[in-house]
Chain A
Amino acid sequence: MSQEESDISLIIAQIVQKLKGSNLYAQLERQAWASLQRPEIKLESLKEDIKEFFKISGLFPLPSHPAAPPEHLKEPLVYMRKAQGSWEKRILKSLNSMCTELSIPLARKRPVGEQKELLNKWNEMGTDEPDLSLFRPVYAPKDFLEVLINLRNPNYENGDSLSFRTHLGLIQVPLKVKDIPELKECFIELGLNTGQLGIDDSTQVPPELFENEHVRIGQKVLAEQDSAAAQQYVRQGSPTALRAELWALILNISSQPEDILYYEQLKTNVIQHDLLVDSLIYKDVKLTASNDDYYFVFEDYLYQVLLCFSRDTSVLSHFAYNSASPPKSYIRGKLGLEEYAVFYPPNGKSNVIASSIAPLCFLYHEPSKLYQIFREMYVRFFFRLHSISSHPSGIVSLCLLFETLLQTYLPQLFYHLREIGAQPLRISFKWMVRAFSGYLATDQLLLLWDRILGYNSLEILAVLAAAVFAFRAVNLMEVTSLAAAEAVLADLSTLKVMPLLQIFLFATVT
């Protein structure tokens, strides 16, 4: 065998190995057993017949990974990797010192009495009020922003002279971001000539013009269980009644018995072991989601999902392509045994993550399904908002995209805000890092997240942030301080996101 061929067979072997542990494999196996009943499968040509059957039935394997050194998969740029590394060290140090101060172990096994108690109030954790005053948050969001602002590429010489190319914003790394013409191409389905939910389904528009047909197509997509078509479909928005199923289809989530079992297993882990970070999670959720107008009802679900999430070792596998490497810990006495590993949500800030679970509670009320959807959304999209990387959907790129859009297309506004000490990113950072959750009305947020799924990118968050500034530009031009600017942009709950995006991308003179 030539070198190339042996490389390929190595890759294939790796893929097969990876697949064997997956849900998909279990499904395939089950289907294969079931297919033995079918008349077209004959014993003599068993292998071929089953293969043929799979082809027709549409169960396709996952795409393959490129052959690249593992660090490159995480993050190709060295300086970014270094920055993420030192950020993590800071967090870990903070966590450890908190443990020492409070003499609480990072992880411990719960005594049986406590386990029973927790099991009993599993559905009501929101009503508990332990003393959390000694726990301080591991870091504040503005700390993270400061780290991003201080990122520098050591190979890049900016030059001292100001030119029209000087970037006036806070982010000073030379990543490539799209401009409006490129965004228009990318988000072509948001154009003025294409029907959108969020615009063309308002009460003044007769439903025959767009909405009815769109719903019909959506139902067809679901009937065919076509994941790729679903992804294309939601670019124009998803009808509320179909959204839960469409998202599950796009994220390849189906509630098989093993998924429910997996969730129950995680729940058992939570009951049995107590983690320091549990209290941090508790405090964070209490502070944020329970004060929210819409999400307070789901407070208990948030605890359940987050507590399980921090014990979910399958999430660890996504760190292969996440620039972050989370601090891992092992249950006392079980050092090195993977089943007893627990990790802390990267950057330790769980309220930010809690806010991305809450809107999902509007779609899924079955705990294991809610958990799966959230986990998949996290490992596909939201993790990029919490780690330092050069990925176009990473938070650094989003910040840069936002600032560039503002500086290029609203230079007067940008300059004015900068002059009064109100750098726009300082206001919009919190929106983007939470994917606007908690700032927009729920129905608008869901329309926005439709597009995140549809375009498989978070760039739309930066575009929306810029569009919001554009929308309130007149008022913003009048303010004379950061506080006043914050006040103008404090309440986004009345905004309609699709018209804003459409106008900004397609109807502004560039």
Chain B
Amino acid sequence: MAGKVKWVTDIEKSVLINNFEKRGWVQVTENEDWNFYWMSVQTIRNVFSVETGYRLSDDQIVNHFPNHYELTRKDLMVKNIKRYRKELEKEGSPLAEKDENGKYLYLDFVPVTYMLPADYNLFVEEFRKSPSSTWIMKPCGKAQGKGIFLINKLSQIKKWSRDSKTSSFVSQSTKEAYVISLYINNPLLIGGRKFDLRLYVLVSTYRPLRCYMYKLGFCRFCTVKYTPSTSELDNMFVHLTNVAIQKHGDDYNHIHGGKWTVSNLRLYLESTRGKEVTSKLFDEIHWIIVQSLKAVAPVMNNDKHCFECYGYDIIIDDKLKPWLIEVNASPSLTSSTANDRILKYNLINDTLNIAVPNGEIPDCKWNKSPPKEVLGNYEILYDEELAQGDGADRELRSRSGQALGPKAGRSRDSGRTVLTTWK
């Protein structure tokens, strides 16, 4: 029976609602029979919680994985990546190779991070090794740049040292938990300004891992010129690129909102730095995204009712090395400019085309392999099934939708970097 898809959402954003309506889907409430629920992260907690949760039926899809926080909470992300690296090292995988200083060659993409207060002592040891370094303190559970500050003196974080005397498993209230990371004080600057990259990645399943990268990511610029000077450590307009922060700056411009497209960035880098280093940079960015997903895949609850669209935040330093800063489960659907609105509308549109095939009532048993025509602005970032099908020897970095077709080798940026084979 081909009925209309019934949708619910608790996020009142036009880019979502317009997309549902244009498909002729029918809006219902949470208590009725629904097929598609675009929920906020609070709601997903309730749906899958032990006490209040309920079983989803085969024709119901939601837009988050139950324990997405393994990737999207700053402390858990780092924990999982560290664990992943150790595991690879134990099995002697070439991916876990280190250089002469003990730094991972291929897996060093997260700045040195510690949890506070749990790792306070470890942090102090690291801090003392390079006392002139700057560190960034971020609350684990907040977003939009709230509660973030920079420090360059131990005294500034004294209050997290109180409870660190014991190393026992004392669960701190999540409100107080912070991560402290080495601040990247040499970001790549354009026009003297710091920026970061926001990339959208859709994961339809974790085991086997199948993920897609949205081609139209963007760069968010700070409105004020960057300076690593210690006198400006408190000036968040210099250091934090979140639009939520920047839009309160005096120079914030509402027409372009301080954003560039990723293709603009690519053009700029190719023109000023050359094609090889630019391609290498973008390859590395794809690499770190896939590695981060692989790191959490084993612990992720790969519920077949779920898909998720993450917002990846990446910073590039002046040596053209990308760093993963964080992953957002609920990337903002607010539009700051007209172009932004168009971008987010198309993002949702393409996401829905992949997650809900043909716009019909979903069936969770489907193989989650959409035909390439529906990808829209997404391209396959990594498909574990396809990768395994090709044998372990083949270096498969298929970035175009035609993964194994005659143009497989055509993918513009593959094959240029020396990469180990992917498992």
Q: Which A positions have Cβ atoms within 8 angstroms of B?
A: 123-124, 126-127, 129, 203-204, 206-207, 239-241, 243-244, 290-294, 296-301, 361-365, 442-443, 446
In the bound complex, residues from chain A placing their C-beta under 8 Å from that of B190 are 297
For residue B256, CB closer than 8 A to chain A, the reply is yes
Known: A127-B224, A296-B253, A300-B192. A206 touches B270 (CB 8 A): no
A362 near B268: Cβ-Cβ < 8 Å: yes
In the bound complex, residues from chain B placing their C-beta under 8 Å from that of A204 are 407
Top 10 closest pairs, chain A to chain B, by CB: A297-B191, A241-B275, A240-B270, A241-B274, A293-B256, A291-B255, A363-B271, A298-B191, A443-B267, A240-B271
In the bound complex, residues from chain A placing their C-beta under 8 Å from that of B192 are 123-124, 300
User: Which of B271, B276, B339 meets A293, CB within 8 Å?
Assistant: B339
In the bound complex, residues from chain B placing their C-beta under 8 Å from that of A123 are 192, 225
In the bound complex, residues from chain A placing their C-beta under 8 Å from that of B103 are none
A296 near B258: Cβ-Cβ < 8 Å: yes
25 chain-A/chain-B pairs, Cβ below 8 angstroms:
A123-B225, A127-B223, A127-B251, A240-B267, A241-B274, A241-B276, A241-B278, A290-B253, A291-B253, A291-B255, A291-B256, A292-B256, A294-B264, A296-B258, A297-B193, A297-B221, A298-B191, A300-B191, A301-B191, A361-B191, A362-B267, A362-B272, A363-B272, A364-B272, A443-B267
Min Cβ gap B399→A in Å is 10
A244 near B271: Cβ-Cβ < 8 Å: yes
Residue of B nearest to A203 (CB): B412
A362 near B224: Cβ-Cβ < 8 Å: no
Instruction: Tell me which residues from 175 to 215 in chain B have a Cβ below 8 Å from any Cβ of chain A.
Output: 190-193
In the bound complex, residues from chain B placing their C-beta under 8 Å from that of A291 are 253, 255-256
In the bound complex, residues from chain A placing their C-beta under 8 Å from that of B224 are 127
Min Cβ gap B294→A in Å is 27
Majority SS at the chain A contact face: helix
User: Which of A203, A241, A299 meets B191, CB within 8 Å?
Assistant: A299
In the bound complex, residues from chain A placing their C-beta under 8 Å from that of B253 are 290-291, 296
Tell me the complex Cα distance, A363–B192, Å.
15
For residue B260, CB closer than 8 A to chain A, the reply is yes
Tell me the complex Cα distance, A301–B272, Å.
16
A442 near B191: Cβ-Cβ < 8 Å: no
In the bound complex, residues from chain A placing their C-beta under 8 Å from that of B221 are 297
B267 near A442: Cβ-Cβ < 8 Å: yes
Tell me the complex Cα distance, A363–B268, Å.
7
For chains A and B in complex, what number of residue pairs have CB atoms within 8 angstroms? 73
In the bound complex, residues from chain B placing their C-beta under 8 Å from that of A207 are 410
Tell me the complex Cα distance, A442–B264, Å.
8
For residue B400, CB closer than 8 A to chain A, the reply is yes
In the bound complex, residues from chain A placing their C-beta under 8 Å from that of B191 are 297-301, 361
Binary interface encoding of chain B residues 252-287 relative to chain A, with 1 for a CB under 8 A from any of its CBs, else 0: 010110111001100110111011101000000000
Min Cβ gap A233→B in Å is 17
User: Which of B225, B255, B268, B275 meets A239, CB within 8 Å?
Assistant: B275
User: Which of B260, B271, B407 meets A297, CB within 8 Å?
Assistant: B260
B410 near A203: Cβ-Cβ < 8 Å: yes
Residue of A nearest to B251 (CB): A127
Tell me the complex Cα distance, A497–B256, Å.
24
Min Cβ gap B414→A in Å is 12
Min Cβ gap B372→A in Å is 14
Q: Which of B221, B260, B270: most chain A Cβ within 10 A?
A: B270
User: Which of A244, A296, A300, A363 meets B256, CB within 8 Å?
Assistant: A296
Min Cβ gap A497→B in Å is 15
Residue of B nearest to A294 (CB): B264
Q: Which of B224, B264, B400: most chain A Cβ within 10 A?
A: B264
In the bound complex, residues from chain A placing their C-beta under 8 Å from that of B250 are 127, 129
Min Cβ gap B376→A in Å is 15
Q: A203-B400, A297-B190 are in contact. List 18 more A-B contacts (CB 8 A).
A: A124-B192, A204-B407, A206-B407, A240-B267, A240-B275, A241-B271, A241-B274, A241-B278, A244-B271, A290-B253, A293-B259, A294-B260, A297-B221, A297-B260, A300-B192, A300-B225, A362-B267, A442-B267
User: Which of A294, A297, A365 meets B272, CB within 8 Å?
Assistant: A365
Tell me the complex Cα distance, A321–B271, Å.
32
Q: Which of B270, B271, B278, B412: most chain A Cβ within 10 A?
A: B271
Tell me the complex Cα distance, A241–B260, Å.
20
In the bound complex, residues from chain B placing their C-beta under 8 Å from that of A126 are 251
Tell me the complex Cα distance, A443–B258, Å.
19
Tell me the complex Cα distance, A205–B105, Å.
35
In the bound complex, residues from chain B placing their C-beta under 8 Å from that of A240 are 267, 270-271, 275
Min Cβ gap B314→A in Å is 18
Min Cβ gap A45→B in Å is 44
Residue of B nearest to A366 (CB): B272
Min Cβ gap A495→B in Å is 15
In the bound complex, residues from chain A placing their C-beta under 8 Å from that of B267 are 240, 362, 442-443, 446
Tell me the complex Cα distance, A203–B402, Å.
12
In the bound complex, residues from chain B placing their C-beta under 8 Å from that of A363 are 271-272
In the bound complex, residues from chain A placing their C-beta under 8 Å from that of B339 are 293
Residue of B nearest to A206 (CB): B410
In the bound complex, residues from chain A placing their C-beta under 8 Å from that of B274 are 241
Tell me the complex Cα distance, A334–B251, Å.
39
Min Cβ gap A12→B in Å is 41
Tell me the complex Cα distance, A203–B411, Å.
8
Min Cβ gap A94→B in Å is 29
Tell me the complex Cα distance, A493–B205, Å.
36
Min Cβ gap A251→B in Å is 16
Tell me the complex Cα distance, A290–B257, Å.
11
Tell me the complex Cα distance, A23–B150, Å.
49
In the bound complex, residues from chain A placing their C-beta under 8 Å from that of B270 are 240-241
In the bound complex, residues from chain B placing their C-beta under 8 Å from that of A442 are 264, 267
Min Cβ gap B318→A in Å is 12
Residue of B nearest to A201 (CB): B412
